[in-house]
Chain A
Amino acid sequence: MKSLIDILDLSVEEIDSLLDTALDIIANPKKYSEVCHGKKLATLFFEPSTRTRLSFEAAMMELGGNVIGFSEASSSSASKGESVADTAKVISCYADIIAMRHPKEGAPLVASMNASIPVINAGDGGHNHPTQTLADLLTIKREKGHFDGLTVGFCGDLKFGRTVHSLINALSRYTGIKFVLISPDELKLPGYVIRDVIEKNGLPYLETRSLEEVMPELDILYMTRVQGERFFSEEEYLRLRDSYILDTEKLKSAKEDLVIMHPLPRVNEISVSVDRDPRACYFKQVLNGKFVRMALILKLLTEAGTI
Chain B
Amino acid sequence: MKIDSIINGIVIDHITAGSGMKLYGLLGLDELDCSVALIRNVASRKTGKKDIIKIDADIPVSFDVIGYVDPGITVNIIKDGVITEKKTIELPETLTNVIKCKNPRCITTVEQELDHVFKLVDRDTKTYRCIYCEAKAE
Contacts and interface: CB of A to CB of B under 8 A. Distances in A.
A110 B105 contact: no
Contact of B133 (A83, A84, A85, A105): A105
Interface residues of B, number: 15
Nearest to B113: A83
Interface of B: 103, 105-111, 113-114, 130-134
B113 A106 contact: no
Contacts, number: 43
A83 B111 contact: yes
A125 B132 contact: no
A90 to B, nearest CB: 16
Contacts of A37: none
A109 B103 CA distance: 16
Q: Which 9 A-B pairs have the closest CB atoms?
A: A106-B132, A105-B133, A104-B107, A106-B107, A107-B107, A106-B133, A105-B105, A125-B105, A105-B106
B132 A84 contact: no
Q: State the majority secondary structure of interface residues on B.
A: loop
A105 B110 CA distance: 11
Contact of B110 (A85, A104, A124, A126): A104
Contacts of A84: 107, 111
Interface in A87-139: 102-107, 109-110, 124-127
15 contacts: A84-B111, A85-B111, A103-B105, A104-B105, A104-B106, A104-B107, A105-B132, A105-B134, A106-B106, A106-B107, A106-B131, A107-B107, A109-B132, A110-B114, A127-B133
A126 B103 CA distance: 12
Interface residues of A, number: 15
A109 B119 CA distance: 14
Given A110-B132, A127-B133, A127-B134, A105 B103 contact: yes
A126 B110 CA distance: 16
A300 B99 CA distance: 34
